[in-house]
A and B are shown apart, each in its own frame.
Chain A
Amino acid sequence: MKWARWRAVLVLPFLFLFGGCVERTAVLNPQGPVARMQYDLIMWSVGFMLFIIVVVFTLFAVFLIRYREKPENAGYEPPDEEGNTLLEVVWTAIPILIVAALAVPTVKATFALEKPPTEKVKPITIHVTAANWKWIFSYPEENIETVNYVHIPAGVPVKFKLTSVGPMNSFWVPELGGQKYAMDGMETELILQADKPGSYMGRSANFSGEKFAHMEFEVVAQTGTDFRKWVNEVKQTAPKLDEKKYTQILKPGLVGRMTFSNTHLQWIDHAKQNSHHADGKPMKNDDQSDEAMTNSHHHGE
């Protein structure tokens, strides 16, 4: 039967949807206000999309079944219709309404994502430098640096200042929120926040060469107390980073996790290395340039 065939085609996608293959991880498992805002937006759009799919698939199935050529309708001559203005207005207007219903929350969310999710807590700043093929995290205020893992306090907005020394990468921790590019000679800012302590996987989402697939890092969210304890521990026990060691880390290749009790920002900030910006100011991705914050990076130690 033709219908049975078509039904199989229509049902197939939903088998995947509800089958055991899909685990609620990453984007489907938001663990912070940023990821949740994006998750809600996604689910809002999915509703409209399913509506469109149901309408189109239903019309499609009904027309295919009713109007196929059969021995009974051999003498039937299809009408010579040019169109139907009313119908065409309807199916132009409905998509316009749907696009509007999607555009408004999209624009709102797009603006909201550029600001910390909460005003009550002072955000912390972490500089992120992508290099072939590792992630370097510098805490200017705490004056510590980590490689391939990063600790953050839960419930506190984190301003990640992203740059790259080398090819473009994309900084993505799906359970905490969407990604942004880390680019050479530029600085982009991504604000994320974790609800509660936990471990979240991050990776580069933009191809950057041979070992790009291994550019993973762990985000460890801790309570405020634990986080401060960890910072103090690092300050006391971790070795100092010097330029020689730093140059070694930057060499193309893979490295393990590392921890240092100072940052490379004291001698170089790759975000300001592009000769387009001879004044030494980074290219900002928004207009609200935060001078005080930028200055504190250099005098923090």
Chain B
Amino acid sequence: MKWSEFFVTGEPLIYAADVAIVLTMVGIVFVLTYFKKWKWLWNEWLTTVDHKKIGVMYIICAVLMLFRGGVDALLMRAQLTAPNMKFLDAQHYNEIFTTHGTIMILFMAMPFIIGLMNIVVPLQIGARDVAFPYLNALSFWLFFFGALLFNISFVIGGSPDAGWTAYFPLAGNEFSHGVGNNYYAVALQISGIGTLMTGINFLVTILKMRAPGMTLMRMPMFTWTILITCVLIIFAFPVLTVALALMTFDRVFGTQFFTMANGGMSMLWANLFWIWGHPEVYIVILPSFGIFSEVVSTFAQKRLFGYKAMVGSIVGIAFLSFIVWVHHFFTMGAGPAVNSAFSITTMAIAIPTGVKIFNWLFTIRKGKIRFTTAMLWSLAFIPNFVIGGVTGVMLAMAAADYQYHNSYFLIAHFHYVLIAGTVFACFAGLHYWYPKMFGHILNERLGKWTFWLFMIGFNVCFFPMYFLGLMGMTRRMYTYSAGLGWTPLNVVATVGAVLMGIGFIVLCYNIYYSARYGERDMTGDPWNGRTLEWATASPPVHYNFPVTPVVEDVDAYWVMKKKYGGFHVKEEDLKPIHMPSNSGRPFWMSVAFFVAGFGLVFKWFALAIVGALFIVLGLILRSFEDDDGYHIPVDEIKRMERAARKGA
């Protein structure tokens, strides 16, 4: 392989990116060295097993990926603003929509949600960490290096270009010769293994580590949604693992699972992909429902309406999510009976979802609504998501879907559910739990600017796309001709995308501004919260709770405040606390995964084998490790509690 093939060349945008990457890396190394922070970075972050720090790292990555995916989106909108634009060529455009989709779903939405659940779930159930803290660190680093591997593709080797769905035979060797789709297969595999382990970890955490008194039906709604999400992950992700493994065999070793020749079956890929892919969208939407439930209840200052129905409907949605995948390809010609069956199962999802919408509405009824930024995001979710939902029902009608399929109508629909559902939830959760993560509140004024810019921009961008779809514009077109009449709506959409971009910039400025000038949260409970995470200091001491709280009802902390005036800890009740030790092994094992993955991508098998050997070495070392963690003595707890509660 020549150097000119190894590095992507020929695009001014890519050269600019090369320079930016080198400068950023030099800058990071310089800052760490100058401020002597290498040791701090290693001890406090790279080797941590603390669920809160891991959660923060997930969210930092997610925001970075939101930036990357957002730049991809703006480049696409720029190219589509006018007919016959020459801004991007076809190949470049194809790479950009592929990375946009993959990054936004797998490296933005997923880590954002997983980050929030890392921070919140153990706190909400009154636990000191997750069930398997070491595994949790490994999950994060596998995600991190998977994402890194995927992202370097645009400067080294070339990006995947067959869409985030990577349909065969297009994504196979017969039509995609570069290493781009190898990156797709291997990078998603590495981070997917991390996600699967997260699913197992949190399932066990929630089932086994709840505080005394917290029965399943007293769990906070966010924890409920995470529990069900874990079940979805455990059933869905192995399908992705297998599908990606077969794809890797096809692409790297020349097997013929999905090829045109020698009896390959490309439809098999589409089925496997969506058997994972449909539950996957519920993996990012159910936790969002949980976040909205928490925020709406807190700021309506009222208990969640119809708790049992809410639990029932998430279980129902989760079940249905596994029996609808064919609706992604009604047009494959499976026959009217099959299509009818999948139409009905798909439409049925509207029933539990509708129940949830009405329960949220009736939670705010008779409430006392405080319009904080987190609440604005949660309230805006309702009308916007309903638009996405009803158009989803329209898409579910197979006979009509033949006219919507793969058109901008579909694009509008899934952005309405994924942005108004998941992205709004991530922003709501970020503002809501920010004081819990960092000890200060995100500025509300800037927060509201972000909200209005982004929310209005979102509607201006995506609502016209419903009509572009009905006017015949199909997805993934890098350009269109002037006579089609699509130009005005495309211009409007681009304006909306720019507004969203400005909203994101205001959010980033808010993070900086609030770190410097933001209001410090000394109480640990800035929003008059209802669940146990607000019973801890902001940010919580690393062991979370000095003594394990006892739960008497749903909204455990609310009840404590009403009955006892808060969560009080008597110093004589303190006992030494058992905590897990930090470990550097998850980090370097994930580096080994990265090295092995890079070797597979380029078919440098010696490198892949070296990486694999280090992975095995890590497994062996862990198996013979004799580290039961450590105990924090009572005096130390007393000292830390006083320090944390100084302001209260």
Say whether A166 contacts B397, CB under 8 Å: no
User: Which of the segments A35-43, A226-234, A255-263 contacts the partner chain?
Assistant: A35-43
Q: Is A23's CB under 8 angstroms from B471's CB?
A: yes
Cβ–Cβ < 8 Å partners of A293 in chain B: none
Asked if A3 CB lies within 8 Å of chain B CBs, one says no
**Contact between B262 and A275 (Cβ–Cβ < 8 Å)?**
yes
Q: How many residues of B contact A (CB 8 A)?
A: 99
Smallest Cβ-Cβ distance to A185: which chain B residue: B260
CB distance A110 to B336 under 8 Å?
yes
Bound complex: CA A127 to CA B464 (Å): 35
Q: Is A22 in contact with B169, judged by CB distance below 8 angstroms?
A: no
Residues of B within 8 A of A301 (CB): none
Q: Is the CB of A180 within 8 A of B331?
A: yes
Task: Say whether B369 contacts A68, CB under 8 Å.
Answer: yes
B238 at the interface (CB under 8 A from A): no
- Cα distance A57–B410 in the bound complex, in angstroms: 23
B383 near A212 with CB under 8 A, answer no
Q: Of B382, B400, B459, which is within 8 A of A45 by CB?
A: B400
Interface residues of B in 476-499 (CB under 8 A from A): 476-480, 484-485, 488-489, 492
A267 interface residue per 8 A CB criterion = no
In Å, the complex CA distance between A80 and B383 comes to 25
Q: Judge whether A67 and B305 touch: CB under 8 Å.
A: no
CB distance from A26 to the nearest CB of B (A): 3
The CA-CA distance from A69 to B479 in the complex, in Å, is 49
**A41 and B397 form a contact (CB under 8 A):** yes
- Let me know if B331 and A109 touch, CB within 8 A: no
B317-368 CB contacts (< 8 Å) to partner A:
329, 331-336, 339-340, 343-344, 347-348, 350-351, 354-355, 357-359, 361-362, 364-368
Say if the beta carbon of A204 comes within 8 Å of chain B. Answer: yes
CB-CB under 8 A for A92 and B355, given A9-B456, A213-B90: yes
Docked CA distance A179–B278 (Å): 22
Provide the residues of chain A in CB contact with B478, threshold 8 Å.
Answer: 213
B347 touches A102 (CB 8 A): yes
B470 within 8 A of partner (CB): yes
* In the assembled complex, B565 has its CB within 8 A of some CB on chain A: no
In whole angstroms, how far apart are the Cα atoms of A171 and B133 in the complex?
A: 51
Q: Are A27 and B169 in contact (CB under 8 A)?
A: no
Task: Identify which of residues 15-44 in chain B touch chain A, using a CB-to-CB cut-off of 8 Å.
Answer: none
Decide if A41 touches B267 in the complex (CB within 8 Å). no
Report the Cα distance A57→B399, complex, angstroms.
Answer: 28
Residue A1 interfacial (CB < 8 Å): no
Residues of B within 8 A of A20 (CB): 488
> What B residues does A25 contact at CB under 8 A?
471-472, 484-485
Given A91-B354, A179-B331, A208-B170: A46 and B394 interface contact (C-beta under 8 Å)? yes
State whether the Cβ of B167 lies closer than 8 Å to any Cβ in chain A: yes
Q: Min CB distance, B358 to chain A, in Å?
A: 4
Interface check A107, CB cutoff 8 A: yes
Q: Which of chain B's residues have a CB closer than 8 A to the CB of A98? A: 350
The verdict on A106 contacting B343 (CB below 8 Å), with A45-B400, A82-B307, A183-B266 known, is yes
Assuming the contacts A42-B400, A114-B336, A207-B163, asked whether A276 and B263 have C-beta atoms less than 8 A apart, the reply is yes
Chain B residues numbered 408-458 whose CB sits less than 8 Å from any CB in chain A: 455-456
Min distance, Cβ A110 to any Cβ of chain B, angstroms: 4
> From residue A238, how far is it (CB to closest CB) to chain B in Å?
27
**Interface hit among A71-79, A134-142, A151-159, A241-249:** A71-79
The CA of A38 and the CA of B303, in the complex, are separated in Å by 44
Taking the closest CB of chain A, its distance from the CB of B73, in whole angstroms, is 17
Contact of A78 among B302, B309, B340, B475 (CB under 8 A): B302
CB-CB < 8 A to B371: which residues of A?
2, 68-69
| CB contact list, A1-27 vs B, under 8 A | 2, 9-10, 12-13, 16, 20-23, 25-27
- The answer to whether A56 and B383 have CB atoms under 8 Å apart is yes
Say which one of B244-252, B384-392, B574-582, B633-641 lies at the interface with A.
B384-392
> Inside 8 A of B351's CB, which chain A residues have their CB?
92, 95-96, 99
| Bound CA–CA A110/B342 (angstroms) | 12
| A290 contacts the other chain (CB 8 A) | no
Contact partners of A67 in chain B: CB under 8 A: 300, 364-369
B523 within 8 A of A: no
Closest chain-B Cβ to A27's Cβ sits at a distance in Å of 4
- In the assembled complex, the Cα of A139 lies from the Cα of B447 at a distance in Å of 62
Taken together as a complex, chains A and B put the C-alpha atoms of A188 and B262 apart, in Å, by: 21
Assess the A57–B383 pair: CB atoms within 8 A.
Answer: yes
The docked-state distance in angstroms from the alpha carbon of A13 to that of B162 is 33
Q: Mark B144-174, 1 if CB is under 8 A from A, else 0.
A: 0000000000000000001100010110001
Find chain A residues with CB under 8 A from B106 CB: none
* Chain B residue, CB-CB nearest to A2: B371
Residues of B within 8 A of A210 (CB): 90-91, 94
B306 within 8 A of A: yes
Interchain CB contact under 8 A, B467 and A21: yes
Assess the B368–A168 pair: CB atoms within 8 A. Answer: no
Given contacts A21-B467, A109-B399, contact A88 B488 (CB under 8 A): no
Give the shortest distance, in Å, between B375 (CB) and chain A (any CB).
10
Closest chain-B Cβ to A13's Cβ sits at a distance in Å of 6
For residue A291, CB closer than 8 A to chain B, the reply is no
- How far is it, in angstroms, between the C-alpha of A146 and the C-alpha of B464 when the chains are bound? 36
A52 and B470 contacting across the interface, CB-CB below 8 Å: no
Contact with B along A56-69 (1 / 0, CB 8 A): 11011001100111
Minimum CB–CB distance for B450 against chain A, Å: 16
Q: Is A274 interfacial (CB 8 A cutoff)?
A: yes
CA distance A64 to B366 in the complex (A): 10
Nearest neighbor of A70 in chain B, beta-carbon distance:
B368
When the two chains form their complex, are residues B368 and A28 in contact, meaning their CB atoms are under 8 A apart? Answer: no
B343, B365, B379, B484: the one contacting A103 at CB < 8 Å is: B343
What residues of chain A lie closer than 8 Å to B398, measured between beta carbons?
A: 106, 110
Least Cβ–Cβ distance between A81 and chain B, in angstroms: 7
Q: Which of B163, B359, B401, B463 contacts A16 (CB 8 A)?
A: B463
Instruction: Enumerate chain B residues within 8 angstroms of A35, measured Cβ to Cβ.
Output: 403
Q: Does A289 contact B (CB under 8 A)?
A: no
The answer, yes or no, to whether B402 is at the interface (CB within 8 Å) is yes
Residues in chain B near residue A64, CB distance under 8 A:
364, 369, 379
B463 close to A27 (CB less than 8 A): no
Give Cα distance in the complex from A73 to B25, angstroms: 55
Determine how close the nearest CB of chain B comes to the CB of A96; give it in whole angstroms: 6
Taking a contact as CB atoms under 8 Å apart, the answer to whether B471 and A26 are in contact is yes
Q: How close is A198's CB to chain B, nearest CB, in angstroms?
A: 15
B267 touches A28 (CB 8 A): no
Given A68-B371, A168-B170, A183-B266 in contact, is the A212-B476 Cβ separation under 8 Å? yes
A211 at the interface (CB under 8 A from B): yes
Q: Which of B162, B308, B335 has the most CB of A within 10 A?
A: B335
A187 (CB) vs chain B CBs: closest residue: B333
Known: A21-B488, A113-B399, A113-B402. A28 touches B471 (CB 8 A): yes
Contact B175 A209 (CB under 8 A): yes
B200: chain A residues within 8 A (beta carbon): none
Q: Which residues of B contact A92 (CB under 8 A)?
A: 309, 351, 354-355
Give Cα distance in the complex from A107 to B336, angstroms.
8
B407 contacts chain A at the CB level, 8 A cutoff? yes
User: Is A149 close to B, CB under 8 A?
Assistant: no
Docked-complex contact B266 and A168, CB < 8 angstroms = yes
Contact yes or no, B368 A56, CB < 8 A: no
B54-76: which have CB < 8 Å to A? none
- Additional A-B contacts beyond A69-B371, A276-B265 (16; CB < 8 A): A21-B488, A21-B492, A27-B469, A42-B403, A45-B400, A81-B302, A84-B306, A95-B351, A95-B354, A99-B351, A109-B399, A166-B169, A168-B169, A168-B170, A211-B90, A285-B335
Q: Which 9 A-B pairs have the closest CB atoms?
A: A178-B402, A26-B472, A285-B333, A109-B399, A188-B333, A83-B306, A167-B170, A78-B302, A49-B390
Spell out A's residues near B (CB within 8 Å).
Answer: 2, 9-10, 12-13, 16, 20-23, 25-28, 35, 37-39, 41-42, 45-46, 49, 52-53, 56-57, 59-60, 63-64, 67-69, 73, 76-84, 87-88, 91-92, 94-96, 98-99, 102-103, 106-107, 109-114, 132, 166-168, 170, 172, 174, 177-181, 183-186, 188-189, 201, 203-213, 273-276, 285-287
